[in-house]
Amino acid sequence: MNKSKIEKFTRQVIDGMYKHYDYIVEDFSFIQGTSIPWGLSKTLADGTKTFVIFMTLEMDTLNEFFENEICVKINCDRENLIKVILIDKDLESVGNIKALQNNFIILDLVSKKIQISESNMEPIASQIASIMDYNTSSQNGQKNTIVTYTLIGINIFMFILSAILSGNVMDIKTGVLVDLGAKYNPAIVQGQWFRLITCVFLHGGLIHIAANMYSLYAIGPLIENLYGKYKYLAIYLISGIISSLFSFWFSAYVSIGASGAIFGLMGAIFIFAFKERKRIGKDFLTNITSVLVINLFIGLSIQGIDNFAHLGGLLSGVTFGLIMSHKKKI
């Protein structure tokens, strides 16, 4: 891996530690042999200051003399100096691992994983790992979107069909929606249970579908990458069905829309953010919570919105999130 890529990758980790874990970015360019001109520092609860320095694995730098030299220049004790050693080769082929003294973390640039760290380095090693996971998820999320775009495509197709049949894109006729599979209690009582899922792909107007599809576009790729396409699809569809059941049980009105399924997705990602708040930072949890609260408030403030469907979808997503978090740590 060339120097520019190493510096870019390290900068991403440093930026993440600054944003999510309250580290201060330090300029270590005056220290010869570090390879990376930036580092981190953080004042701990006991008042001591920890420094984190990033460096490549080089024989002439990994020794006690070099560590002492760094500590003198940045005015810290050796026990407060953490070394993040960047490698891009098999550990077995690296001959100078034994030259490391203490307080070190080995970061594999190829697999982007923590390979070796001392037990007392576990907290910061976990933080660095979470930043790398977050960056990887963000990058992969742009690629793993096949289910999201397929769902958006189906919704748009059904909206175009309903608009053509209604002769209006702003306000779809209720009769058309019922004919296409809206949640209509008398029909469901007669055995048309398919309406519990078909209604999820129908919308009442251009603003309605635009709002829902924007929400799906915004959070779908992240959840698709996080849980995988099959679990993601299961969360969406089952949350949609549960939201329709809640509407069927508690509301006599005709109901349509993907918002119940989308609330299910938000419920699942909320559980993930809560469970992993120490690893990925509280900002993500705060953002997800804000989106949920705002959407719930909007639902309660505007007439005609099926809040029972939203509640059912949310509870379904939360349940999925709890089940998946117990089975596998994401």
- Co-location of 173 and 269 in the same domain: yes
- Co-location of 131 and 177 in the same domain: no
Q: Choose the final residue of a domain: 77, 109, 138.
A: 138
Full domain range(s) for residue 268: 146-327
- Co-location of 243 and 214 in the same domain: yes
Catalytic residue among 251, 259, 290, 325: 259
> What is the DSSP annotation of 50-91?
EEEEEEE--TTTSSHHHHHHHHHHHT--GGGEEEEEEE-S-G
- Co-location of 19 and 120 in the same domain: yes
- Co-location of 10 and 111 in the same domain: yes
- Co-location of 128 and 213 in the same domain: no
Q: Is 117 a catalytic residue?
A: no
Q: Choose the final residue of a domain: 138, 168, 187.
A: 138
- Co-location of 116 and 183 in the same domain: no
Domain count within the chain: 2
Tens-digit pLDDT profile for the chain (330 aa)?
A: 566 777 778 888 888 888 778 888 888 777 765 567 788 888 887 788 888 888 776 544 556 666 777 788 788 887 888 888 787 765 554 445 545 557 778 877 777 777 666 667 777 888 888 777 766 655 555 556 899 999 999 999 999 999 999 999 999 999 999 999 999 999 999 999 999 999 999 999 999 999 899 889 988 888 888 888 899 999 999 999 999 999 999 999 999 999 999 999 999 988 888 887 766 656 667 777 777 787 777 766 666 678 889 999 999 999 998 887 654 443
Contacts of 18 (CB under 8 A, 6+ apart): 24, 25, 40
- Co-location of 244 and 183 in the same domain: yes
C-alpha 78/C-alpha 311 separation (Å) is 54
- Co-location of 86 and 105 in the same domain: yes
Domain CATH number, residue 155: 1.20.1540.10
Kindly report each contact of residues 46-49 with a partner whose C-beta sits within 8 Å and lies 24 or more positions away, as own/partner. Answer: 48/80, 49/76, 49/80
Q: Choose the final residue of a domain: 107, 138, 169.
A: 138
Catalytic residue among 117, 215, 310, 316: 310
pTM, entire model: 0.61
- Co-location of 211 and 311 in the same domain: yes
Q: Is 259 a catalytic residue?
A: yes
Q: Are the C-beta atoms of 73 and 94 separated by less than 8 Å?
A: no
- Co-location of 120 and 172 in the same domain: no
